[in-house]
Homo-oligomer: A and B are copies of this chain.
């Protein structure tokens, strides 16, 4: 299984995630942006996820809820840009901290053996980024990437 690289430099509001997949950019893009598949890979394992909307087009919006024994966590955002098989740029807000909005840019780059997914998240402040890192972000990202890899292999 390929490794997920997470880079969150101290004193910055940035988080970068890189992961290679044994698939074409088109295959990975299709699975990643399919509203009916989101609940099967996005977020840490063991959470129940309800996707209210996930309208992947410029100006489209999304909202989903993660639920575990400690409570419910709702997230929302809008899509700024969507380029088929190449790029998604979207906002991200946890409703528990209203007004603290991040911007996520996800690119799909072909490699010699597959596709490289790269996500750059820019938080509204260094403090917000640090809270996100301390909240267990890394486990959630690694689980998401591993679940996505399994799903891409299955959906091919």
- On chain A, which size bracket covers the interface? 20 to 34
* A101 contacts B by Cβ under 8 Å: yes
CB contacts (< 8 Å) of A77 on chain B: these are 80
Please give me the residue from chain B that is nearest to A98 by CB atom.
B81
Contact A103 B103 (CB under 8 A): yes
Known: A13-B13, A59-B61. A101 touches B80 (CB 8 A): yes
Contacts from A to B (Cβ < 8 Å): 12-14, 58-61, 77-81, 87, 89, 91, 93, 99, 101-103, 105, 120, 122-126
Known: A91-B103, A101-B105, A122-B123. 5 other contacts (CB 8 A): A58-B61, A59-B59, A80-B101, A81-B93, A89-B101
